[in-house]
């Protein structure tokens, strides 16, 4: 016990730097972790927290300061557990760890953590730090012999998932109840928070991502810069949303959104007719702006079809717009308007509108899904719209959910679109005889069971299509737009419930579902946003 206490004493009032990197991170190798640890030690760190024996061994060869070792391993329930087996602890100690961390939360205890804690202390002779989320878990760990407790898991368990920020008050409560050293860890992002932890009575402070995760650090700075950029000088943009039957257009302010709006029927007749139509609409919008004493800086066009935003051309379009494949929209409009012209797929443009003007302004990872006659999508990953190698990304409506299922307009079968679009909703509610989707949604809000059951069925299928998107991209938010989402709270409740049943580690994801606030002219805002994104963020 005296030796254990001496080891802990070396950490008193010190900074423990967590040197870890997730799989896929550019720094995910033991040599990089050792360099991080060396930099931390040279800067005054009292100790290092490290994951896995290979990293511990590399760090031990680089620095003399104490190492708190742990071993993260996926369990059968799809969630990580810290040091789930005694053999993990033994490997860490052989590699040079001075302490071992164990997950002693309620879940960890159910998986044998307290018995493992006793055995590690008895057989390996090293202090054990219990990672906990609540005072009750800390008390149980101390009773089992934990030499210290750390609030590592607070905010990351089902019981504490509503906690989103570091809580000095929790550290104080632990210190008042726990007779062993309390280590502050988790959600500590600034020096001020680290200092607050010591004032609350923490024995030592662990900081990880804020020091040793360059990607995380860069993302925080990038988000701050992007937010501020949107407050910079006001720009006015001509925005055009070209649909198969209607063309909406307007003048958009980068600060205050839609200033002026209009609508025109989209003519048929092929590429040349459509390009001439776009030219007339853009000129009308530009003329309106100048009459109001405003000079637009850019023009943006949102169109059906997949688009190469680099040259503003349509890579591929279905026969809903005959001859539109290959149309050089930017090249045709730029000489006529004398303005830089940005072009984007309409679903991607809606995601851009959410990023600049809507529900995506405060997050860097989100998915925007449009529900209507068809189903479209746009995905932001780490602050950038994802296009894919050939500009065909984000085709959420064509995620297959039923093998050899219903035919889709794309030519395949079993896609999400025919199971979750407006026609599908009416099909599910056919017993109610509703005139259209809006009538069905109103009936559901009034409590009519056939309508409510139809929305539940739609949500079930929608969850089947979105679950793989969530698993692939791990977004912070899903934003639903289009007519089927308006005044439809039941859809959001049922979709969240259905996703929770299909998505792994659902509580830890903290994924929020939100309706778009942009309304009928979201496509016009999206066209403007694609111009802002192309020309204002270079």
SS3 of 209-258: the string is HHHHCHHHHHHHHHHHHHHHHCCCCCCEEEEEEECCCEEEEEEEECCCEE
The answer to whether 86 and 47 have CB atoms below 8 angstroms apart is: no
Task: Provide the strand spans (E) within 10-147.
Answer: 15-19, 47-51, 67-70, 72-74, 80-82, 99-103, 128-131
pLDDT of 342: 95
CATH topology of domain 364-517: Nucleotidyltransferase; domain 5 (3.30.420)
What stretches of 101-212 show up as alpha helix (H) in DSSP?
106-110, 113-119, 135-143, 168-177, 191-199, 209-212
pLDDT of 538: 45
d(CA 429, CA 432): 6
Domain ranges of the chain: 2-212, 234-358+519-538, 364-517
Residue whose pair of structure tokens reads 């100790």 in the numeric block: 47
The per-residue pLDDT for range 402-426, each reduced to its tens digit, is 999 999 988 899 999 999 999 999 9
The per-residue pLDDT for range 341-392, each reduced to its tens digit, is 999 999 999 999 999 999 999 899 999 999 988 899 999 999 999 999 999 9
For the chain, the straight-line distance linking the first and the last C-alpha, in angstroms and rounded, comes to 60
Q: Which among 99, 101, 48, 96 is positioned nearest to 73, based on CA atoms?
A: 101
- Mean pLDDT, residues 313-317 taken together: 92
pLDDT of 231: 63
Q: Which among 240, 237, 235, 239 is positioned nearest to 255, based on CA atoms?
A: 235
Q: What is the DSSP secondary structure assignment for residue 267, as one 8-state letter? A: P
Percent of the chain surpassing pLDDT 70:
97
CATH number for the domain running over 2-212: 3.20.20.70
Instruction: State both tokens at 290.
Output: 């100048």
pLDDT of 27: 93
Pairing of strands 72-74, 80-82: antiparallel
d(CA 70, CA 82): 6
Residue whose pair of structure tokens reads 């995905």 in the numeric block: 379
The helix/strand count (H/E) of the chain reads as 21, 22
Task: Provide the strand spans (E) within 119-166.
Answer: 128-131, 148-150
pLDDT of 199: 96
The answer to whether 341 and 334 have CB atoms below 8 angstroms apart is: yes
The per-residue pLDDT for range 29-87, each reduced to its tens digit, is 999 999 999 999 999 999 999 999 999 999 999 999 999 999 999 998 889 999 999 99
* The pLDDT of residue 223 is above 70: yes
Pairing of strands 375-381, 384-385: antiparallel
Domain made up of 234-358+519-538: CATH architecture: 2-Layer Sandwich (3.30)
Does the fold of domain 364-517 match that of domain 234-358+519-538?
yes
d(CA 151, CA 186): 7
pLDDT of 317: 87
pLDDT of 230: 61
pLDDT of 184: 97
**507: phi then psi, degrees, rounded to nearest 5:** -60, -35
- Mean pLDDT, residues 9-35 taken together: 93
Backbone Cα Rg of the chain: 28
pLDDT of 86: 98
Q: Which among 115, 16, 101 is positioned nearest to 52, based on CA atoms?
A: 101
d(CA 84, CA 103): 8
Instruction: State both tokens at 483.
Output: 């007519």
Distances (CA, A) of 302 to 335, 349, 449, 471: 19, 6, 38, 28
d(CA 226, CA 129): 40
For 486, counting Cβ atoms within 10 Å of its Cβ (0-12 exposed, 13-18 middle, 19+ buried), the class is middle
Confidence of residue 537 (pLDDT cuts 50, 70, 90): low
pLDDT of 234: 82
d(CA 349, CA 301): 9
d(CA 90, CA 116): 11
d(CA 175, CA 173): 5
The per-residue pLDDT for range 423-464, each reduced to its tens digit, is 999 999 999 999 999 999 999 999 999 999 999 999 999 999
pLDDT of 1: 46
Secondary structure element (H or E) that encloses residue 262, with its range: strand 257-265
Q: Which residues of 42-53 are buried (b: 16+ CB within 10 A; e: fewer)?
A: eeebbbbbbbbb
pLDDT of 322: 87
> Average pLDDT of the chain?
93
- Mean pLDDT, residues 467-481 taken together: 96
* The pLDDT of residue 6 is above 80: no
* The pLDDT of residue 4 is above 80: no
The answer to whether 66 and 11 have CB atoms below 8 angstroms apart is: yes
pLDDT of 37: 97
| HSE-up (13 A, CA, CB side) for residue 240 | 31
* The pLDDT of residue 220 is above 90: no
């Amino acid at each position: 016990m005296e030796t254990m206490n001496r080891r802990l004493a070396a950490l008193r009032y010190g900074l423990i730097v967590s040197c870890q990197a997730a799989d896929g991170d550019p720094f995910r190798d033991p040599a990089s972790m050792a360099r991080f640890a060396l930099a931390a030690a040279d800067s005054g760190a009292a100790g290092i927290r490290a994951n896995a024996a290979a990293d511990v061994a590399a760090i031990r060869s680089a620095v003399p300061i104490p190492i708190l070792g742990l071993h993260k391993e996926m369990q059968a329930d799809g969630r990580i557990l810290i040091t789930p087996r005694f053999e993990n602890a033994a490997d860490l100690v052989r590699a040079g760890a001075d302490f071992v961390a164990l997950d002693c939360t309620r879940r960890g205890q159910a998986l044998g953590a307290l018995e493992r804690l006793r055995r590690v202390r008895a057989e390996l002779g090293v202090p054990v730090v219990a990672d906990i989320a609540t005072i009750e878990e800390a008390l149980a760990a101390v009773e089992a012999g934990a030499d210290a407790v750390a609030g590592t898991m607070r905010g990351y368990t089902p019981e504490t998932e509503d906690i989103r920020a570091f809580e000095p008050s929790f550290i104080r409560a632990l210190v008042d109840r726990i007779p062993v050293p309390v280590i502050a860890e988790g959600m500590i992002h600034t020096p001020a928070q680290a200092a607050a932890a010591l004032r609350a009575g923490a024995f030592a402070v662990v900081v990880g991502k804020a020091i040793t995760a360059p990607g995380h650090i860069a993302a925080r700075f990038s988000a701050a810069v992007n937010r501020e950029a949107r407050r910079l000088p006001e720009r006015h943009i001509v925005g055009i949303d070209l649909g198969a039957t209607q063309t909406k257009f307007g003048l958009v302010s980068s600060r205050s959104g839609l200033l002026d709006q209009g609508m025109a029927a989209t003519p048929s007749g092929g590429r040349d007719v459509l390009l001439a139509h776009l030219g007339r609409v853009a000129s009308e919008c530009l003329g309106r702006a100048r009459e109001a004493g405003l000079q637009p800086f850019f023009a943006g066009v949102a169109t059906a079809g997949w688009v190469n935003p680099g040259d503003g051309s349509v890579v591929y379009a279905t026969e809903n717009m005959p001859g539109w494949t290959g149309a050089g929209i930017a090249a045709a409009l730029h000489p006529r308007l004398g303005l830089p012209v940005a072009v984007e797929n309409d679903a991607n443009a809606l995601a851009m509108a959410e990023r600049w003007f809507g529900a995506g302004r405060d997050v860097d990872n989100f998915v925007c899904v449009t529900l209507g006659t068809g189903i479209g999508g746009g995905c932001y990953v780490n602050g950038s719209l994802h296009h894919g190698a050939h500009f065909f990304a984000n085709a959420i409506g064509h995620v297959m959910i039923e093998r050899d299922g219903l035919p889709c307009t794309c030519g395949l079968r079993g896609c999400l679109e025919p199971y979750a679009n407006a026609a599908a909703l009416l099909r599910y509610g056919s017993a109610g005889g509703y005139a259209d989707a809006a009538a069905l949604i109103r009936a559901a809000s009034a409590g009519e069971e056939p309508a409510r059951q139809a929305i539940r069925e739609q949500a079930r299928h929608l969850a089947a299509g979105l679950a793989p998107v969530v698993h692939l991209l791990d977004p912070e938010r899903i934003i639903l737009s289009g007519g089927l989402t308006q005044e439809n709270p039941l859809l959001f409740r049922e979709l969240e419930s259905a996703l929770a049943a299909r998505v792994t580690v659902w509580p830890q994801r903290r994924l929020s579902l939100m309706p778009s606030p942009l309304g009928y002219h979201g496509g016009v805002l999206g066209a403007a946003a694609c111009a802002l994104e192309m020309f204002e963020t270079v």
